[in-house]
Amino acid sequence: MGGSVLRRPPFFSHSPRFSMTHHFDFLVVGTGIAGLSYAVKASQFGTVAVVTKKEKAESNTNYAQGGVAAVMSKVDSFEMHVRDTLSTGVGLSHEDAVRIMVQEGPERLRDLIAIGAKFTYKDGALDLGREGGHSTNRIVHAHDLTGHEIERALLAAVAAAPTIQMFENHVALELITEHHLVSRRSVDSSRVHCWGAYVLDSHARLVETFLAPVVLLATGGLGQVYLHTTNPPIATGDGVAMAYRAGAKIGNMEFIQFHPTTLFNSGSPSFLISEAVRGFGAILRTRNGEEFMHAYDPRKELAPRDIVAYAIDTELKRRGDEYVLLDLRHLSPDAVREHFPYIYSTCLTKFKLDITAEPIPVVPAAHYSCGGVVTDIDGRTNVDGLYAAGEVSMTGVHGANRLASNSLLEALVFSDRALRTSIAGRETLTAEVPEVAPWDDSGTLNSEEWILIAHNRREIQEIMWDYVGIVRSDLRLGRALRRLELIQKEVEDFYKRTKVTEGLIELRNIGLCAMLVIKCAMQRKESRGLHVTTDYRNRNDAEFLHDTILP
């Protein structure tokens, strides 16, 4: 269970490169909607450190275009939203968690409005949109930049809170547990505790110690495990990897949601080509011009996201192609430019592609992880003092597939519950943190072999894309695991011999998360929701109507 290996035993810790130790009441890792909303509320009860490995606005939340699903109209009801969520989760969503999210969601949305989030209104009321899987209009949005607006409002609230200190360009490296204590005699050895984290200051190139009796992981997703993803470059699964190394339970990692149409070779994150483009009449074709969606679903291009993604993936593997084509050339160029000005202008100016005259090369891309660090309905993990909220967590809400726009709602609701639980016993905030050994990197090297990091990262992403993507098999999973075990052994050896950098930390976490996805997928001998395997094509409720938990 025990976290990273200290470079030397604590009693040799006299290196002049040891950095400072920070003491806070709360430590929040991540600056998406879960971390920032938690920090704003926690600031009323104590000092809060918020660490983020890039700029404070860089998060999956900021890239979310859709909105927040919530019951905000008289024609909607909690029961309808619950039913839609459970149906999409294909039998694995936890009904108690779903009901909590749905019932508390409207009030949490009002919290955002109260701090200044400006959503889109129509005729004096919230303009509610509708997305796949929802039985009525309930998507609260800020045009098509909802995540950006939520981040703006939350960051403004953070800036106005005097008890919050933001640490940008700080990379959480390892959670501090019993393994890192100078002495374990003063702690309960029957349980694992978290007292903070070692954090790399990327600019100073020093590892600092952040101590706090309450730690919230809000690090977002792990899309960068895959070659193609809509997630920003920071989404490397850091929270899941750190929690697993610390002894936290991880669950349902096999359920990775893929968006069907992103622009091929558009970088990281992949540029999304909205599903509305298909709704407008665009046709999917193979590279030689053949239509194919009619072979998978009578609704063709208008089939649900998982079906379209499966169809594209199947055609790519069958033909050995790298992408398929999304064709708008039969549509009016003026109408395309009018309805999709952002997509048109971005493709034209950034990628030199005129979507009215040329077909768009598209591929599915990893979009969202339905699994993560297992928590209860109050955000608690099985590690004392450690909470998790947002995409890094597994609350049980999403089950085998996420209902559109439930992600931001889940982050709001369960980060709020985590805050209320963590302050319920106020004495925990003044609890004495045991003496922690400082990080010691003496005896390690400054390696110039960073090409190894880039190569290994790319290799992991290609292995995951080729063998652990939308469709898996026992053969593919076994091959992927064997190769990843070799890579991870090499990475761990490199990690122990060299001074840590952001790239090395991310590579180590990507490799571990990739293996966790594979191990969960190998346990599920059926096809359900987002997990499709050629060896077990049917859903098997008799044996697999349960979560996949890795202790």
Residues designated as active site: 305
Helix axes of 33-42 and 146-159: crossing angle, nearest 10 degrees:
30
CA–CA dist 195, 139 (Å, integer): 38
Which residues does residue 215 pair with via DSSP β-bridges, in sequence order?
27, 386
Q: Are strands 26-29 and 214-217 parallel, antiparallel or unpaired?
A: parallel
SS3 104: helix
Short-list 49, 17, 54, CA closest to 35: 49
Cα distances from 215 to residues 84, 250, 400, in angstroms, run 33, 17, 28
* Residue carrying the six token digits 């640490």: 167
By the 8 A CB rule, do 368 and 393 touch? no
Beta carbons of 409 and 370 less than 8 angstroms apart: no
Cβ neighbors of 477 (< 8 A, separation 6 or more) are 467, 468, 518, 521, 522
Nearest-angstrom CA–CA distance, 389 and 235: 15
**How many other C-beta atoms lie within 10 A of the C-beta of residue 452?**
15
Q: Residue 349: what are its φ and ψ, rounded to 5°?
A: -80, -40
Buried b (16+ CB within 10 A) or exposed e, 116-155: ebebbeeeeebbbbebebbeebbbbbbeebbbbbbbbbbb
Query: Between β-strands 386-388 and 214-217, what pairing exists: parallel, antiparallel or unpaired?
Result: parallel
